[in-house]
Amino acid sequence: MASIVIDRIRKSFGAFQALKEVSLTINDGEFVSLLGPSGCGKTTLLRIIAGLETATSGDVHIGDKSVIGLPPKDRGLAMVFQNYAVFPHMTVYENVAFGLRMQKAGDARVKAQVEKAAGLLHIEQYLDRYPNKLSGGQRQRVAVARALAVEPKVLLMDEPLSNLDALLRLEMRTELKSVLQSAGTTTIYVTHDQTEAMGLSDRIAVMHNGVVEQVGNPVEIYNHPATRFVGGFIGNPPMNFIKVPVSNGRVSAGSEQLAAPKETGNEVILGLRGEAVELAPLPQGLEMKVRVAEPMGSHLLLTGSIHDQPARVILPASETVKSGDTIGLKLDRDRITWLSAESGKSYRSSQPENHLEYPA
């Protein structure tokens, strides 16, 4: 069993609190991304799990035991970091074998494991080469193969694809997902790239200023962000946030009336995904002034304003809206996120703060 329980972890650097109280459970075999902007604490949390950094308080369990106080090598995990250090003076074979040799594995086991990992990462044909004869993507594969060769219970990865160009990155992302799915490794993956997190993860923990703002599967997080920060960070274009007046518990969207959540005051924020709208003839629908219309081939991207607030929506490529037009937008009611005008938190979010569950 290689679940990971992060229990109320705090980390301060002097007076600065890098992690405020982070709790998160990663189930056995699950792929969880820590996603957030630079400086939110992702790497610090990963380093605490790895044993490379000491928490100010809190506990980390891997499997059924606390690993606080254990050195990294005794935690049963493997790591792949951004600067995927492959050893230049060793062949690919010896690079992949490195962790096994450290464990004093016998030659037969080393050979079997190296061949298996090399097969998974499609680097069998390079085993005799030195890393300087490999491309960046191939070296990246060697680093991942080296981590997988020891069959770790837990794999920690920190921006492992960030040194690759865009196309290679996309290719490696798909490979990585397929390899880790078949190996059944519990994985924690640090990234600030939302597309990468969405594509790879079973669940994503969105971090901001040293706290986890939401944990959920990619679709939940995309459709039901718990906070304004999460809705703005995930999605391209980001979610639109339009502050609108509430009157008698209702919000007008042109001739349509929408029932607002009961808890709202005189104002509420409508969180609208750019594609969760349809073109409607005025005066029906919410009025949008289109400043720029960009035909993207697959869709039409419109940038402008709704209620004098910036907005970006996506319509089918076949629509013929032009820059300067004023249009009506019919909203998909099931896809509206209602957020508090004061706190920026979603009303329908059932996510308790510091959500914590221990595996049975």
Ligand X SMILES: Nc1ncnc2c1ncn2[C@@H]1O[C@H](COP(=O)(O)OP(=O)(O)OP(=O)(O)O)[C@@H](O)[C@H]1O
Residues that bind ligand X (CB under 6 A): 13, 18, 36, 38-44, 192
Rounded to whole angstroms, the Cα distance separating 273 from 329 reads 12
23, 87, 119, 143, 171 from 135: Cα distances, Å: 39, 14, 18, 13, 14
Element (DSSP H or E) covering residue 198: helix 194-200
Distance, in Å, from the CA atom of 159 to the CA atom of 321, rounded to the nearest integer, reads 40
Nearer to ligand X, 203 or 312 (CB): 203
C-alpha gyration radius of the chain: 24
Kindly state the smallest distance separating residue 12's Cβ from ligand X, in Å: 9
Q: How far is the CB of 49 from ligand X (least distance, A)?
A: 12
Q: How does strand 4-13 pair with strand 16-26?
A: antiparallel
Residue in the structure block whose two tokens are 């996603």: 35
Output 43 or 349, the one with its CB closest to ligand X.
43
Nearer to ligand X by C-beta: 212 or 302?
A: 212
Least distance (Å) from ligand X to the CB of residue 216? 19
With respect to ligand X, which residue has the nearer C-beta, 40 or 270?
40
Q: Given the complex with ligand X, which of 44 and 95 has the nearer CB atom?
A: 44
First to last CA, the chain: 11
Tokens representing 80 are: 């792949």
Least distance in Å: CB of 13 to ligand X?
3
Nearest to 1 by CA among 158, 171, 133, 184: 184
CB of 212 to ligand X, least distance (A): 12
CB of 165 to ligand X, least distance (A): 19
Residue 126, both tokens:
């390079």
